[in-house]
Chains A and B, each alone.
Chain A
Amino acid sequence: MAAEWICRALRDGALAGEHAPALTIKDSITSPLGFDVFAHVLSQHSTNISAGKSQSRGLVLVAFCRSPSFYLDLLNKRGLDTASSHQWIRILDCYTDPLGWKDRLAESASATKLSHEGLNMASIRGNVKDIDSVYSSIISLGKGFVEQGNVRFCVAIDSVNEMLRYASLSSVAGLISSLRCCDQISSVFWFYHADLCEERVTAVLDYMSTMAASIEPLIQFANRQRSNSENLSLLDQNFTRGKLHLRCKRRNGRVRVMFEDIHIGQSGINFTSASCEDGVINQGLLPKVQFNLQLSEKELKDRAKVVLPFEHQGNGKPVQIYDGRKSLTDGKYEIAPVSTGISDTDKESSKGEIIYFRDSEDEMPDSDEDPDDDLDI
């Protein structure tokens, strides 16, 4: 449900007079499935766009950590027609040569220059550190879709981490917020690894997004320092399974939280509702022991029925609590439950009770009491 919700929100886009909705996708090394979720959202949204179902007419993908051809392959594999892709996707290539090393080397050695520029690509060579130029490239790529004033496009950024390596947090935050303000943009989404950034970076990015999807491991490692080798099956689980935790902020300030399980199988990524998650996780966490740590419902009921010794609540008799000292006079109370108990068990067989026979008059009071504590010696 959460994943569908995300795709719907991106599809519906921005309302007039509001900032564009923004989605953060983040993960950490214990459950590194964030990129799969990003790829899922990307392909779902692309499907919507190419089918004309979305508010946005095109998608500008800012590629920092994968090559443009990787993304075209990915979309092709998800059944999108990349031949007509130039009508709805443009890729800003910040991957191939972000710092201009290749250009610099090509100049000095006059080697053949590799060119990726095609119909739907643009690349930034050497000046990725200049966030303003990234912004203007995004806008000018998007303008390709936007002939009339009221058509919008969507922006996807595949790694905010890389961007943060090249530029300061404030300039990255500035880029994102100016993208959200832009009239021609219908939605923005981005992905990053949360454990590579400081906490304040995570907080800033969360504040700027209307939806924050974080991927968490199903089972947390009890001890981070513990070597993987001892938790091989856990490790394996965390590479294929995870929990999608989605927090959406409504316009009125209400925050809604949703959970969903992620499973990555041979056929791709699956989302299932996480209704039974707690039970499953708890069962998974409990060590296998030969005795029960918890009571069944029947056992709980039976336990509630047990009448504790010397406490006859609710049956009209005075409440008598055994203090270890009562003797002869109480004899009848000690015997009584036995005689009545037998007849009672016929009537209500499920009633439990504790039968206590005092062995002899010599029985000592409870061991923690000092029998002589009232003596003044």
Chain B
Amino acid sequence: MEIRGLLDEALGLQHLSGRVVLLEDCVETSAAFVLHHLLKRSLSQPLHSSNVVVFIAFAQPLSHYDRILRKLGCNLAAQRDNSKFFFFDMLMDCPDEDNGKGGDGGLVSLYGKILKTMSALPQVNKNCVTVMIDDVSLMEVAARGSTNLVLDFLHYCHTLVSEFGCSLVMLNHEDIYSGMVSPTLILQMKYLADILIKAEPLATGLASDVHGQLTVVNRSIVDGERSRNKPCNFHFKVKENSVEYFYPGSRT
């Protein structure tokens, strides 16, 4: 299928198991569509029918994702009923009330919930789990600005990746750290990530039929050897129910 797109090509065809993916965007160009794409890809690939997604939402309610994914041809409610989609709405359960211990912003109990969900899955599904976080900057807000706590949480998510072989997809905004002297959170996340997907506006400014550019850097190691995936860069146009990817200059 031609529609596969450059993004899938850049990510490689196999399941992202054991990988940490960082989506990095900015105010001008949101990478939310990449998150939706990965969500749909994880849920609807017939090859991996045992795929499970654990979605941690700090940014939007379920109805938002449901509406978008339905346009992309994926029914989240049905997937949730099939126990293939687990949604943790962090907007709804206020961490302060939820956790009397305080101080940890509810992240410890959130980790506990994820661990419990994953442990309860049948063995077939265990290494096909994708944990998605939308987004880490709001998680930092929930942790009352404690970068260390967020990093602890991400560390524990990383232990899930190495223990179960699942994958971790997280979204963060680059420009909110731009003025800081030591932007450690985004830098730490970059070190943590195997695959970095960066969305940014065109260097030449706005254009009507190009909405921005994506850079995919895949430095994951396949079977102990560094994979050949070269960093790649392409333009995209977000449409009503699909996204077009194309190389710079390939459209007239």
Is chain B found bound to chain A in the same assembly? yes
Interface residues of chain A, those whose CB is within 8 Å of chain B, are 29, 32, 66-67, 69-70, 73-74, 77, 95-99, 101-102, 104-105, 108-109, 111-112, 114, 162, 165, 193, 195-196, 198, 227-230, 232, 235-236, 239-240, 264-268
Q: A239 touching B111 by the CB < 8 A rule?
A: no
Residues of A within 8 A of B219 (CB): 32, 239
Q: B159 touching A67 by the CB < 8 A rule?
A: yes
B123 at the interface (CB under 8 A from A): no
Interface of chain B residues 157 through 191 with chain A (CB within 8 A): 159, 162-163, 182, 184, 187-188, 190-191
In the complex, per-residue mask of B214-252: 1 if CB is within 8 Å of any chain A CB, else 0: 010101000011101011110000000000000000000
**Chain B interface, >50% SS class:** helix
Q: B213 touching A165 by the CB < 8 A rule?
A: no
In the complex, the chain B residue whose C-beta lies closest to that of A227 is B200
In the complex, the chain A residue whose C-beta lies closest to that of B156 is A101
Q: A67 touching B231 by the CB < 8 A rule?
A: no
Report the bound CA distance from A198 to B190 in whole Å: 18
In the complex, the chain A residue whose C-beta lies closest to that of B233 is A229
Given A66-B162, A111-B119: A165 touches B217 (CB 8 Å cut-off): no
Report the bound CA distance from A96 to B191 in whole Å: 18
Report the bound CA distance from A193 to B225 in whole Å: 22
Report the bound CA distance from A70 to B165 in whole Å: 12
Q: A196 touching B184 by the CB < 8 A rule?
A: yes
B111, B163, B200: the one within 8 Å of A101 (CB): B111
User: What 4 A-B pairs have minimum CB-CB distances, sorted nearest first?
Assistant: A105-B112, A229-B233, A67-B162, A229-B215
Q: A109 touching B226 by the CB < 8 A rule?
A: no
Interface of chain B residues 47 through 70 with chain A (CB within 8 A): none
- Whole-angstrom distance between the Cβ of A79 and the nearest chain B Cβ: 12
B11 at the interface (CB under 8 A from A): no
- Whole-angstrom distance between the Cβ of A313 and the nearest chain B Cβ: 55
In the complex, the chain B residue whose C-beta lies closest to that of A111 is B119
B116, B159, B203, B224: the one within 8 Å of A229 (CB): B203
Residues of A within 8 A of B198 (CB): 227-229
B32 at the interface (CB under 8 A from A): no
Interface residues of chain B, those whose CB is within 8 Å of chain A, are 108, 111-112, 115-116, 119, 148, 151-152, 155-156, 159, 162-163, 182, 184, 187-188, 190-191, 198, 200, 203, 213, 215, 217, 219, 224-226, 228, 230-233
Report the bound CA distance from A102 to B159 in whole Å: 11
Q: B159 touching A96 by the CB < 8 A rule?
A: yes
Report the bound CA distance from A227 to B199 in whole Å: 10
Report the bound CA distance from A215 to B127 in whole Å: 35
Residues of B within 8 A of A97 (CB): 159
In the complex, the chain B residue whose C-beta lies closest to that of A162 is B155
Residues of B within 8 A of A232 (CB): 215, 230-233
Residues of B within 8 A of A99 (CB): 152
Q: B231 touching A236 by the CB < 8 A rule?
A: yes
Q: A228 touching B231 by the CB < 8 A rule?
A: yes
Given A70-B162, A101-B111: A111 touches B116 (CB 8 Å cut-off): yes
Residues of B within 8 A of A227 (CB): 198, 200, 203, 215
Report the bound CA distance from A267 to B217 in whole Å: 20
- Whole-angstrom distance between the Cβ of B149 and the nearest chain A Cβ: 10
Residues of B within 8 A of A29 (CB): 187, 190-191
- Whole-angstrom distance between the Cβ of A202 and the nearest chain B Cβ: 12
Q: A228 touching B217 by the CB < 8 A rule?
A: yes
Report the bound CA distance from A299 to B37 in whole Å: 60
Q: B217 touching A196 by the CB < 8 A rule?
A: no
Report the bound CA distance from A74 to B162 in whole Å: 14
In the complex, the chain A residue whose C-beta lies closest to that of B224 is A77
Report the bound CA distance from A104 to B203 in whole Å: 49
Q: A105 touching B108 by the CB < 8 A rule?
A: yes
Q: A109 touching B188 by the CB < 8 A rule?
A: no
Report the bound CA distance from A198 to B184 in whole Å: 10
Residues of B within 8 A of A74 (CB): 224
Q: B231 touching A195 by the CB < 8 A rule?
A: no
A77, A104, A193: the one within 8 Å of B108 (CB): A104
Report the bound CA distance from A185 to B198 in whole Å: 45
Report the bound CA distance from A98 to B156 in whole Å: 9
Q: B187 touching A195 by the CB < 8 A rule?
A: yes
Given A105-B108, A228-B217: A32 touches B162 (CB 8 Å cut-off): no
Given A96-B159, A198-B182, A232-B232: A240 touches B111 (CB 8 Å cut-off): no
- Whole-angstrom distance between the Cβ of A178 and the nearest chain B Cβ: 25
Residues of B within 8 A of A69 (CB): 162
11 contacting pairs across A/B (C-beta < 8 A): A29-B187, A98-B152, A99-B152, A102-B156, A108-B112, A114-B163, A193-B187, A227-B215, A228-B198, A232-B232, A265-B226
